[in-house]
Amino acid sequence: MQNAAEIVVQRLTKDYGRFRAVDDINFEVARGSVVGFLGPNGAGKTTTIRMLTCYMPPSSGQARVAGFDVFSQSLQVRQNIGYLPENTPLYPEMRVEEYLDYRGKLRGLNRTARKQRIAEVADRCWLTDRLRWLVGKLSKGYRQRLGIADALLHNPPVLVLDEPTVGLDPSQIREARKLIAELAGRHTVLLSTHILSEVELVCQRVIIIGRGKILAQGTPDELKQQCARAGAAGSRLLVEVRGPSDQVLSAIKALPGVEKVQVLADGPVQSLAVVGRLDAQLREQIAALVVQRGWALREMRIGGATLEEFFVQITDPGTSQAAA
């Protein structure tokens, strides 16, 4: 167990004055996996990442990255980590190649290793045609690629990417995700984000953090199940009916066990979300009702719990019981 975990965080805490940004968190990241670090803005994601990358020391608790302690073996940790900070700060006056060469020198790579690695990461991050460009002239997408190329340059076992897809256009986001998915296996990746679909696409595990605490962790499927269980009473029945809209709405509302009916799409065909006690009886009642009135039932299904619903539910300060 100890061997398989590349990042081990134990009782990690960070205080900014009286404000506790990260509160006694524990988690592990297995070697070679891609783990999503999810949370709303201001939840403590970046603070945690900054402690893991040795940018700032923890107030208490400890963390080990690639077997080294972030506080007492900071240089070794930094040698074994590739880090893409939020917003990708770069030197605008340097050329792409020049920047990567400089970064290689800082990581202690010799001349031949630098040349070889720069060619490799440039190829991998689709940067080859931009090597002679000034960094300041690159588009946001290319800057992000350069940041990832820099993180990969010394081939570190651990990669920490802080919101790598922010500010990219949809096709660039798809490329970035493809790249991150490719990195799994060879590298251990901790990916911070607040975009849920990203986590579902590329991560094997998810850690959800909110207000400095870990609220949930597991595989995306596990979290969805957990969500479905926790919110069984709140799940929805999606019904599509052709018929006069006001009558359909009032008739379904009148059925026993129905708490609320949301209209998702109106028109000759109504798409409704029914919230309430969704047992089989209700579904049969709705079907019978539709047939009895001579309307047409086009679709009826139980809406699957999405990760997004779970996320909103557990990170919303109003529903603190979900944290348990």
Minimum CB–partner distance for residue 75 and other proteins (Å): 5
CB of 108 to other proteins, least distance (A): 7
Out of 79, 204, 225, 313, the residue judged to bind other proteins by CB under 8 A: 79
Min dist CB 315 to other proteins, Å, is: 26
The contact pattern for other proteins, residues 89-128, with x = CB under 8 A and - = no contact, is xxx-xx-------xx-xxxx--------------------
Residue from 56, 232, 233, 288 in contact with other proteins (CB under 8 A): 56
Cα separations (Å) of 270 from 103, 289, 295, 297, 299? Answer: 59, 15, 11, 10, 10
Nearer to other proteins, 16 or 259 (CB): 16
Task: Provide, rounded to whole angstroms, the least separation between the CB of residue 68 and other proteins.
Answer: 11
Q: Which is nearer to other proteins, 76 or 225 (CB)?
A: 76
Nearer to other proteins by Cβ, of 73 and 271: the residue is 73
Tokens 């049969």 -> residue: 284
Question: Given the complex with other proteins, which of 9 and 237 has the nearer CB atom?
Answer: 9
Given 33, 48, 50, 199, the residue binding other proteins (CB under 8 A): 50
Choices 85-93, 195-203, 222-230, 273-281; region in contact with other proteins by CB under 8 A: 85-93
The mark string for 269-308 relative to other proteins (x by CB under 8 A, - otherwise) is: ----------------------------------------
In 102-146, where do the E strands start and end?
none
Measure the CA angle with vertex 148, ends 143 and 150; round to 5°: 90
Q: Within 125-233, where are the H helices? A: 140-152, 170-183, 196-202, 220-230
- 148 C-beta neighbours (distance < 10 Å), count: 24
Decide the pairing of beta strands 68-69 and 60-65: antiparallel
Distance separating the N- and C-terminal Cα atoms of the chain = 26
| CA-to-CA separations, 168 to 36, 59, 164, 165, 198, in angstroms, rounded | 18, 34, 9, 6, 13
Q: Is 316 helix (H, G, I), strand (E, B) or coil?
A: coil
Tokens of 4: 């398989």
Cβ neighbors of 196 (< 8 A, separation 6 or more) are 38, 306, 307, 308, 311
Binding site for other proteins (CB under 8 A): 16, 50, 53-57, 75-76, 78-79, 81, 83, 85, 87, 89-91, 93-94, 102-103, 105-108, 150
